[in-house]
Structure 1
Amino acid sequence: MEEGLRERKKRETRRRISDMATGLFLMRGFDQVTVAEVARAADVSVNTVFNYFGTKEDLFLDRQADLEEIYRGVVRDRRPGESVVDAFRRDFLDALDTGDWRYGFHEGAEVWGRVVAESPALRARTLEIERQVMACVAAAIEEEADADPDDVRPELVAAQILSTTRLLSRHALRRRTAGESPREVEAWLREQAEALFDLLESGIGGYGRRPLVVAEDGEAAGDEEEDDVEGDHRRP
């Protein structure tokens, strides 16, 4: 259905306000810009700004709905035989190829990250968005797996996957900020992403297991100690 004139104007107004706000925040910092200044730059009233954005923080972090819809699609549109973990692995690596904003691969991500880091209000809002997005992904996994409402495994899977992508994105941003070349960061990201998603796919139960100490006679030292203990238990 063709978009109506009224809807198109509303969408354009929202985009103009968002673009003006983002430009000011990136240039001067989030806490140094008022909503009134954003309104003047966008040639609208302050009330109009709040008609489109519930809070000042939403002016800068305004793509939560897009993020949730994309992630629902990652879960819903898995290939035949593809697990949720591998679907997100593929999504992450594809995003690396295209410079996707969701994982901080877009141009200017360093400046964006600095603005968020310098604002307590934005940091708090980012955490809240992360919780809401995780709940959205967990609900999508629960639906796809036809899980019981009391089954918390979909929530665990969502938390592990999104923690992994955030961890990778955060370290990539630090490396770029430290002066590593895009090629170096990309190579590191690909290697680490494959390793971390492999770990998620196989399960973390065996990771970090302390190796047994093998004695000269070829027996594990732990086994010998266990035998001694059992022998003590058998004594009258």
Structure 2
Amino acid sequence: MTVPPAGRRERKKAATRQAIADAALRLFLERGYDQVSVRDVADAADVSTTTVFKHFTGKEALVFDQEQDREERLVAAVRRRPPGQSVPDALRRHILDTWLPIETHPQRAEFARLVDSTPELSAYAGHMWTRHARALAAAIADEVGADRDDLACAALARYALEVPALARGRDDPRAAVETVFDLLAHGWRPPAAR
């Protein structure tokens, strides 16, 4: 859950940022990414292009407006987990709490088509994924007292970030997430014969 900004100025900045992101996504889904300019987004949000660039680094960032927050929450899931909770279990809980609502959002399929059909957005998503994996691996390493380039920590981070892709489209996405995290926590066992 996101904590709303405390002061009036922060609330106003957050509202402006959200209005820009909402306008951008609406236009991109209606017209296609390549047919919408930053000027179009600014006009739709009733702000200047300068204001758009105060809030977003570029056109691609308008599509992935919550990614910085997602990365921070991902790292926090590891660093702020309850005493006695393992890192894989903290990541399992985080994925279940954050990914499942996204997966069931009514615009998820449209959003996925937009990203998958736009090379710039697919590339941007790949760079974000790599950045998230590095940040998560560093947090895991810090938590267990390992070097930041520890291979096991990097592997756990990458595998955990792949769980949503593996669970997507399954009949029971929650059960799929649980299955993959059981594998991460306890190792692979051959599936029972059907």
User: What interval of TM-score do these two structures reach, taking the shorter chain for normalisation?
Assistant: 0.7 to 0.9
Alpha carbons of 1:197 and 1:34: their partners in 2 closer, same or farther (altered >3 Å)? same
Q: How far off its partner does 1:150 sit?
A: 4.7
Q: Work out the percentage of aligned pairs sharing the same amino acid.
A: 41
AA partner of residue 185 (structure 2): E
* Alpha-carbon distance between aligned partners in 1 of 2:180 and 2:11, rounded to the nearest angstrom: 43
Q: For residues 94 and 12 of structure 1, what CA distance do their matches in structure 2 show? A: 24
Aligned mates of 1:129, 1:73 — CA distance in 2: 17
Which aligned pairs between 1:216-235 and structure 2 lie closer than 5 A? none
Deviation at 1:4, TM superposition (A): 4.0
Q: How far 1:126 moved relative to its partner?
A: 0.4
Cα distance between partner residues in 2 of 1:25 and 1:132? 25
Aligned length: 187
Cα distance, 1:190–1:51 mapped onto 2, change above 3 Å: closer
Task: Give the TM-score, by structure 2 length.
Answer: 0.85
Letter in 2 for 1:110: A
Given that 1:141 and 1:154 are in contact with CA atoms closer than 8 Å, whether structure 2 keeps it comes out as yes
Which whole-Å deviations, capped at 9, do the CAs of 1:106-125 have from their partners, x for residues lacking one? 22111111111111111000
1:116 and 2:119 matched? no
- Structure 2: distance between partners of 1:53 and 1:89: 30
TM-score, normalised by the number of residues in structure 1: 0.71
2:133, 2:157 within 8 Å by CA — same for their partners in 1?
yes
Larger Rg: 1
Superposition CA RMSD, Å: 2.2
- Give distance in 1, aligned partners of 2:53 and 2:149: 38
The residue type paired with residue 46 of structure 1 is: T
What is the match of residue 62 of structure 2? 59
Runs of at least 4 residues off by over 6 Å: none
TM-superposed CA distance for 1:47, in Å, is 2.2
Question: Equivalent of 1:191, from 168, 175, 194?
Answer: 175
Supply the distance in 1 between the matched residues of 2:135 and 2:45 (Cα, whole angstroms). Answer: 32
